[in-house]
Chain A
C-alpha cells in the first residue's frame, strides 16, 4: 500500500523530454504534416496558373516573389509530395486489408522511406539541373 502523504515520484509517461515516437506513429504524423503542408501549396499552384493566364506582367511578379526562397519551397513541395506519395501507397495497401500486422507495416515503412529518399533525390537533382542549365 502506498503512503497517501508522499507525492508520487514516478516519471510521467510518456516522459516528453526523452520519449521518441516509434517509427509507425512518427510516419503517420508525418503523412498528416506533409498533407497539410501540400494543401497550403494549392495557394501557390493557383497563383502560378492565374498569373500565367493573366499575362507576362503578372507572371513576372509571381517569379520575382518566388525568387529565391520560392525555389526552396518548390524543393520542399517535391520532398513532401514524394513522402505523401510513397506513404499513401502504403495506406492504399492497408485499405485492401493487407500488411496490417506490425512486422509487415514496419517493413513497408522502411520501403516507403527508401522510396521517398530515391524519389526526392531524383526530383531535387533534376530540378537543380534545369535550374542551372
Chain B
C-alpha cells in the first residue's frame, strides 16, 4: 500500500468537515489540565492555610488580588475541566442517545450555574 492510500493529505484534512468541530474538546481538556498544574497546588495551599481560620481572616485572604485571583482562575479552569471530563465519561458509558444528550446538557447547565456562583462570590469578596 502506498502512503497516499493510508494517510490523508493535508488538503483533505483541513477544515472542520460536516461535524463542525475538530479536536477542540480534546485540546481544551489538555489546556485546562496544564493550567491546573500551576493553579491546583496554589489552591490547595490556600485551602490548607485557611483551615480553622475565622470568617474575617478567610474573607481577608480571598479579598487579596493574589489569592482571590488564584481562586478565580482555579474555579474557571477546574469547572471547565470537570465539564469536559464528565462529558467524556457520559459518552463512554451512556448508550441511549436521548439519555446521553440530556445528561450532558444537565451537567453543563449545573456546572455553568455553579461556576457563575463561585466566580461572582469571589468577585464580590474582592470588590467590596
A27 within 8 A of B: no
Min distance, Cβ B123 to any Cβ of chain A, angstroms: 8
Min distance, Cβ A52 to any Cβ of chain B, angstroms: 6
B-side contacts of A35, CB under 8 Å: 82, 85, 89
Please state if B37 and A42 are interface contacts (CB–CB under 8 Å).
Answer: no
Please state if A81 and B44 are interface contacts (CB–CB under 8 Å).
Answer: yes
Interface mask (B31-62 → A, CB under 8 Å = 1, otherwise 0): 00110110010001001110110010011001
Interface mask (A37-53 → B, CB under 8 Å = 1, otherwise 0): 01100110110011011
A92 within 8 A of B: yes
Q: How far is the CA of A54 from the CA of B118 in the complex (A)?
A: 12
Please state if B111 and A42 are interface contacts (CB–CB under 8 Å).
Answer: yes
With A46-B114, A60-B55 in contact, do A130 and B49 touch (Cβ < 8 Å)?
Answer: yes
B25 within 8 A of A: no
Q: How far is the CA of A126 from the CA of B62 in the complex (A)?
A: 20
Min distance, Cβ A116 to any Cβ of chain B, angstroms: 13
With A42-B82, A130-B49 in contact, do A53 and B44 touch (Cβ < 8 Å)?
Answer: no
Contact partner of A126 (CB less than 8 A), chosen from B33, B48, B117, B120, is: B48
Min distance, Cβ B53 to any Cβ of chain A, angstroms: 9
The B interface is mostly helix, strand or loop, or mixed, namely helix
B104 within 8 A of A: no
A-side contacts of B122, CB under 8 Å: 49, 53
Q: In the complex, how many residues of chain A place their beta carbon closer than 8 angstroms to a beta carbon of chain B?
A: 32
Please state if A46 and B89 are interface contacts (CB–CB under 8 Å).
Answer: no
B-side contacts of A131, CB under 8 Å: 51-52
Please state if A42 and B121 are interface contacts (CB–CB under 8 Å).
Answer: no
B-side contacts of A130, CB under 8 Å: 48-49, 51-52
Interfacial residues, chain B to chain A (CB-CB below 8 A): 30, 33-34, 36-37, 40, 44, 47-49, 51-52, 55, 58-59, 62, 71, 75, 78-79, 82, 85-86, 89, 111, 114-115, 117-118, 120-122, 124-125
Interfacial residues, chain A to chain B (CB-CB below 8 A): 32, 35-36, 38-39, 42-43, 45-46, 49-50, 52-54, 56, 59-60, 74, 78, 81, 85, 88-89, 91-92, 95, 123, 126-127, 130-131, 133
Q: A53-B122, A92-B34, A131-B51 are in contact. List 16 more A-B contacts (CB 8 A).
A: A36-B86, A42-B78, A42-B114, A46-B118, A50-B121, A52-B55, A52-B59, A54-B121, A60-B55, A74-B47, A78-B44, A81-B40, A126-B48, A130-B48, A130-B52, A133-B52
